[in-house]
Amino acid sequence: MTEMVQYNEKQQQIMAIALRLFAENGYDKTSIRDIAREAEVNVAMVSYYFGSKDKLLEAVFINHFKFIRSAFKTILNQRNDSATEKVSKIIDMFVDMLADRQLFHRLMIRESGILKQGPLFDMIKEMKTVNRRLVEKAVKNGQRLGVFRTDVDVFFMSSVLIGSVHQNMANTRYELEHRNITEEQRETIKHERTETLRTHLKRMFIAYLTDPSNV
Amino acid sequence: MTEMVQYNEKQQQIMAIALRLFAENGYDKTSIRDIAREAEVNVAMVSYYFGSKDKLLEAVFINHFKFIRSAFKTILNQRNDSATEKVSKIIDMFVDMLADRQLFHRLMIRESGILKQGPLFDMIKEMKTVNRRLVEKAVKNGQRLGVFRTDVDVFFMSSVLIGSVHQNMANTRYELEHRNITEEQRETIKHERTETLRTHLKRMFIAYLTDPSNV
DNA sequence: ATGTTTTAATTAAACGTTTGTTTAACTTTG
DNA sequence: CAAAGTTAAACAAACGTTTAATTAAAACAT
């Protein structure tokens, strides 16, 4: 219970600012002094609370992974859906998860590219495995019911799923940067893009899974 | 003609090492001294030849963009294919391009995430636009011939295309890291993954484009 | 071809900044 | 009064870059 109240207000403030700066400018291009300035705390507070810059990044990761793990559990415990509904729900979960936590995923995608070991590597690897298991479960369910093809590739599908969502956001960001529109319009376009992505991902996956043609 | 021989041997040596280190360890985590050591040149040579670390990165980008642009032109000038063959060829081109130049694309994906302006931003934005145009052209061709649906989304498709390929490679890397296998086995698995990706991407896209069901 | 001059390439050392982190003094809180 | 929180200052290390000196290569005139 008290385990949950792990971080006090100041710590959360530091972590929130750190996440934003890490995601927007990169971990290495963000100095502890940058974080301290924006979070309006002394530079020494980061070492005091988190030990080091590395550990701060780790804390940010752990924080979000907790949330993500519980989201996975929720979807895993859902039953009584049709095979296509299950796929649809998984896509919804991924799109929502990535849309709601854009900053974190931008950071994760960036840092994941250069990790070779350590706690962050292990966390990301674990998440990749869980992603795959989730997709696998839904696919096997549809295959058991005889509505999905038997020659689909789960590794491929989980790559498409996460890769498409991330790329869609990255492309949208590039398109909107430097465009002279209000923040409101920007958010509207982003939202439209997300909904289009959601709809078409579902259609594409169902088409792929149920495609009757020979290869 | 002489314009082509832009870089001498030493410059190319520096650029090759820089690309590898930037891609594997990140731009910021790679020092000029690291590059100089591995390229077996003096640290001052980087400034001497490229002006700065920033400009070296820019040179690496320009170098690869030249190649990529010419690959695009090749595919754009191909004719007399069926609609599905055109899509198939585009997928082949993207998969080959990303597989052959893995290091560069790892670097680009990473750095693209934090760019807001400047020459690199512009180059990447241009490439995203060209990607989209290529997909658009193939899609419209198929629609004109009446074999593709009219309600497909080109922005979505180009996101899926590039995002899936990159994510597939990233996931494969995570899976293979720390596995106690020979370099040969590693390359074999990588190759298998790439071919599976190619096959299934084609099948999925064709299924998405020709799916007869209502939405 | 030769010796001379000019340009380019290369080097070790130094420069000024910025970095993450620590210290030691001070303030607030329980 | 003891513990936790907070601060400004200091620290050493690493960074990108520049300097000034030296060597190699090229261009040139004789």
Query: Around Cβ B73, how many Cβ atoms within 10 Å?
Result: 10
Closest CA to A211 of A164, A150, A131: A150
pLDDT score at A74: 84
pLDDT score at A34: 97
With CB atoms and an 8 Å threshold, state whether A156 touches B197. yes
The C-alpha angle with vertex A96 and arms to A94 and A99, in degrees rounded to 5, equals 105
Question: Nearest residue of A to residue B214 by CA position?
Answer: A203
Residue A7 C-beta-side C-alpha neighbours within 13 Å: 17
In the DSSP assignment, the letter for residue B51 is S
Is residue A60 within 8 angstroms of chain B, CB to CB?
A: no
Q: How many residues does chain A have?
A: 215
Round and report the angstrom distance from CA (A115) to C1' (D8).
36
Nearest to A207 among B24, B167, B208 (CB): B208
- The answer to whether A41 CB is within 7 Å of strand D is yes
pLDDT score at B115: 97
pLDDT score at B1: 33
- Cβ proximity of A15 and A107 under 8 Å: no
Distance CA A187, CA A118 (A): 36
Q: Is residue B3's pLDDT more than 50?
A: no
- Nearest residue to C21 (CA, C1')? A47
**Over the range B132-168, which residues count as b (16 or more CB within 10 Å of their CB) and which as e?**
bebbeebbebbbeeeebbeebbbbbbbbbbbbbbbbb
pLDDT score at A5: 60
- The answer to whether A54 CB is within 7 Å of strand C is yes
Q: Is the dihedral of CA A27, A29, A32, A36 positive or negative?
A: negative
Among the residue ranges A80-94, A95-109, B30-44, the one predicted with the least confidence is: A80-94
Domain range annotation of chain A? 60-210
Average pLDDT over residues B169-175: 97
Average pLDDT over residues A146-163: 97
User: pLDDT tens for residues B53-75?
Assistant: 999 999 999 999 999 998 888 88
Q: Specify the fold of B60-210.
A: Tetracycline Repressor; domain 2 (1.10.357)
Chain B neighbors of A177, CB-CB under 8 A: 116-117, 121
Protein-nucleic contacts, chain B 23-52 to strand D, CB < 7 Å: 30-34, 43-44, 46-47, 51-52
With CB atoms and an 8 Å threshold, state whether B204 touches A204. yes
In this prediction, residue A181 has a pLDDT band, given cuts at 50, 70 and 90, of very high
Chain A (110-129) residues lying within 8 Å, Cβ to Cβ, of chain B: 110, 112-114, 116-117, 121, 124-125, 128
User: pLDDT tens for residues A29-79?
Assistant: 999 999 999 999 999 999 999 999 999 999 999 999 999 998 888 887 877
In this prediction, residue B124 has a pLDDT band, given cuts at 50, 70 and 90, of very high
With CB atoms and an 8 Å threshold, state whether B208 touches A213. no
pLDDT score at A108: 97
Chain A (170-209) residues lying within 8 Å, Cβ to Cβ, of chain B: 170-171, 174-175, 177-178, 193, 196-197, 199-201, 203-205, 207-208
Among the residue ranges A193-197, B1-5, B111-115, B120-124, the one predicted with the least confidence is: B1-5
- The answer to whether B130 CB is within 7 Å of strand C is no
